[in-house]
Structure 1
Amino acid sequence: MPKIKFSYPRGNFPRLCLIGNSNVGKSSLTKNLLSHPQWYKGKIGKTAGSTVRLTIINDPALNYHVIDLPGFGRMTRLDRSSEAFVQEQILKYIEIDRNNIFLMLMVSSADRLGEELDKWYFQNEETVPLTIEFIQFMLNNNIPTVLVLNKIDKLNSYHLKALKEKLLQVFSDFEIEIQGFEATSGFLGILETSASQEIGIKELKGVVFQHSQQLQMQDYDDRNTLLDQPPINVKKKKLKLQNDSSKEGSSENSTKTEKLSKKEATSRTPRKSSKSKKLSKKSQKKRSGYSKYPKKRKPSVKGKKKKTFRK
């Protein structure tokens, strides 16, 4: 399995999330939801699984973060084990950050959703379609959810009407009630969009804006302090480790002080040995430049012959 770094946002701050299968147009919709779409540098591709990592967008014109989650399903860039790891991390992130997610956009492709409902529900009632399973997961975590039917330009009016009838039947069978876009909890409703043709983008922005204006910003962290805080998935672990290390440090210090006090009570000041005195005298002589055996000076050579010594 290749090494994948799944980044988590920092601190407590409002977040708008987009989730769905691979290649349904999440990144294209994300780009259209920003104040300046040209700022978004995420990869928008035709192949499934172009977005592998969690993308956190900090738009200064918005009072919330936009989170573009990786897609579920087949990813061309990853193997099966890596796909399972990414999907596990997506669900883990939603559970950890559910209190900060003020709105979840469940994005689905209109041209593929009908086949999904037929295969995983109408032809086999024992299975649950992934889109319905996602909506149930959000409701269990108390996250307001909107189903965004993207790519409606690929269906004619007849097929689009038939798809919505199927959806309403499945919702009633799974007891999923539509609360309306003004509600603050539950399943809010269905929005029809086309990111490529810019259909329904204005209505989608209106729903997001309506919910963002209801946020109580005093209940969240200051935006300027988010980078100084640890990621939300390691905050509790770090605090626990710090507490444990402080406890261990205090216990070690107490044992050290006890040992030192015992030593001080039992120890006596040792006498200086004769060796230490001799060493100190030698060191003093060396420092003063005096030595016990000074070197003999050589006689001067001026006007005199050198003395020769017998062997």
Structure 2
Amino acid sequence: MDSIIRRRCLAHLARSRILGLRYTSTTTTTTTPPSARPDLASSKTTSAVTAAPPPSKPKHVSAPKTEDITPPKPVDLQRYHISDPPTPVQQTFATRYFQAPSTPPIHLWTAAKFSTIPRSPYPEVCFVGRSNVGKSSLLNAVFGRPKEKIARVSSKAGHTKTLNAFGVGGVNRDTAAREPLKQLSSGALVVVDTPGYGFHSRQEWGPEINKFFEKRKQLRKVFILIDAVHGVKSRDLVLLQHFEDNGIPYQIILSKVDRIVMTDSKSPGAEKLTRLVKKLDKVYEEVDEQLRTLDQGQRPKKRDVLAASAEKQIKGLQGWGGGAKIGIEAVRWAVLKACGLDCDEQGNRRVVEGLEIQGEEEEDEEVVAWKPQRYGTK
């Protein structure tokens, strides 16, 4: 009896173990309750159900690098409304004309009165502006010899007290002993520096300078300097109106433009220069608005306006090489073009013929036969 009971117990125990193994193998294929095994629950759930991809982050668009920004060109600082800007070939031609080492500018004459100005067969331009606007400094930069200070410079307003003429573009070494005007060769021009008007300038010089503007027949154009920071003043408008009324050709130059496009001692990068040129655009708009009074209610007149600096140059940017101060190449080209001594796009200079003084026996000392003929290689 006992043996029968023992066998039944062993059989029951064996069945229980088999059933226990079956239960264990079955539950391992199911998901473990999260409360029991949280570490296994996450892994097993991901294997059974494909998890959704995490939301993609918005792509960050980086700002363009400074070196990727195309910097403004020197011509972008000028405003050409009625004439074409000079090409690189023409700018180089103008630079070589003024900076030729073999033909440095020479002082020709100084005059306090119009009647004492000598006769001349050469085309002339003159530079005018308010006292201390930077005429003499700009001329030294145009001559390409700022250290020599051919035109006298002073920080004191009203330093220039006479008309001072300088010959540019060729000196005949064989005639070095003659009077200065006869030292110039064919194709030369004369640049005249004038006393400043306004604060600390003398009133009696006004009539003499006006005589020069109105009666000097060699005069091709007047370059009037206006401070780029302070803008057009009432005395500037009076002089400009005088030019308009008397048909005197003139060219406006915004001087000291470095105070706008170079706010510190270092040359600006491409991005900063782009912002500063936009600031200069506003200055041009203000100047145009101030000049509308000259139109006297008529249709607004288009005028070329240049900008230059006698002190600063921009370095390290594409198109800003050559060592010239800001805007000086544009001023040089404007002077040559006014005198008819410019060149074509291929660099062929204009040939000057018939250069001689006529009517010396007459009292009218202003009759001059001067006429540029054509472009050529002569």
TM-score, normalized by the shorter chain, greater than 0.5 = yes
The separation in 2 between residues aligned to 1:219 and 1:144, in whole angstroms, is: 23
Distance 1:5 1:172, change over 3 A: closer
Deviations 1:128-168 (CA, angstroms, capped at 9, x unpaired): x2222222222333332110000112236365333322221
Partner of 2:328: 201
Residue 41 (structure 1) shift: 3.0
Which of residues 251, 257, 267 in structure 2 aligns to 1:146? Answer: 251
Q: Which has the larger radius of gyration?
A: 2
Higher relative contact order (CA 8 A, sep 6+): 2
What CA distance in whole angstroms lies between the structure 1 residues aligned with 2:169 and 2:332? 17
2:143 to 34, 37, 57: 34
State the partner residue of 2:198.
73
Q: Which moved more, 1:191-200 or 1:211-220?
A: 211-220
Cα 1:85/1:173, change in 2 over 3 Å: closer
Corresponding position: 1:221 with 2:356: yes
Superposition TM-score, scaled by structure 2 size: 0.46
- The CA deviation at 1:55 is 0.4
Helix, strand or coil at the partner of 1:113 = coil
Q: Sort the Cα spacing of 1:174 and 1:88 in 2 relative to 1 into closer, same or farther, 3 A.
A: same
SS at match of 2:258: helix
Cα distance in structure 1, aligned partners of 2:247 and 2:353: 21
Equivalent residue number for residue 64 of structure 1: 189
Q: Give the paired residue count.
A: 199
Q: Is 2:146 aligned against 1:21?
A: no
Q: Is residue 8–residue 93 contact of structure 1 (8 Å, CA) maintained in 2?
A: no
After superposition, where does 1:66-105 map in structure 2 within 5 Å?
A: 66-75=191-200, 83-97=202-216, 99-105=217-223
* Structure 1 residues 144 and 177, CA gap change in structure 2 (3 angstroms): farther
Query: Is the CA contact (8 Å cut-off) linking 1:178 and 1:189 kept in structure 2?
Result: no
Could you tell me which residue of structure 2 aligns to residue 255 of structure 1? none
TM-score, scaled relative to structure 1: 0.55
CA drift of 1:35 comes to 6.0
- For residues 306 and 161 of structure 2, the distance between their equivalents in structure 1, rounded to whole angstroms, comes to 25
What is the alpha-carbon distance in structure 2 between the residues aligned to residue 209 and residue 108 of structure 1?
Answer: 21
- Closer, same or farther: CA 202–236 of 1 in aligned 2, 3 Å: closer
More strand by share: 2
- Cα RMSD over matched residues? 3.2
Structure in which a larger fraction of residues adopt helix: 1
Structure 1: distance between partners of 2:363 and 2:149:
28
Residue 218 of structure 2 corresponds to residue 109 of structure 1: no
Pairwise CA distance, 1:13: 2.8
Structure 2 gap segments, 5+ residues each: 1-110, 171-186, 262-275, 313-324, 343-349, 366-378
* Alpha-carbon separation, structure 1, partners of 2:243 and 2:351: 21
Percent identity, aligned pairs only, is 22
Provide the rounded CA distance (Å) in 2 between the counterparts of 1:155 and 1:25. 16
- Any residues of structure 2 matched to 1:1-311 within 5 Å, and which? 5-6=112-113, 7-34=116-143, 41-61=150-170, 63-75=188-200, 83-97=202-216, 99-113=217-231, 116=233, 129-155=234-260, 157=276, 160-175=280-295, 177-179=300-302, 188-197=303-312, 198-212=325-339, 213=341, 217-218=352-353, 220-221=355-356, 235-236=363-364
Question: Given the superposition, is the C-alpha separation of residues 15 and 177 from structure 1 closer, same or farther in structure 2, using an over 3 Å criterion?
Answer: farther
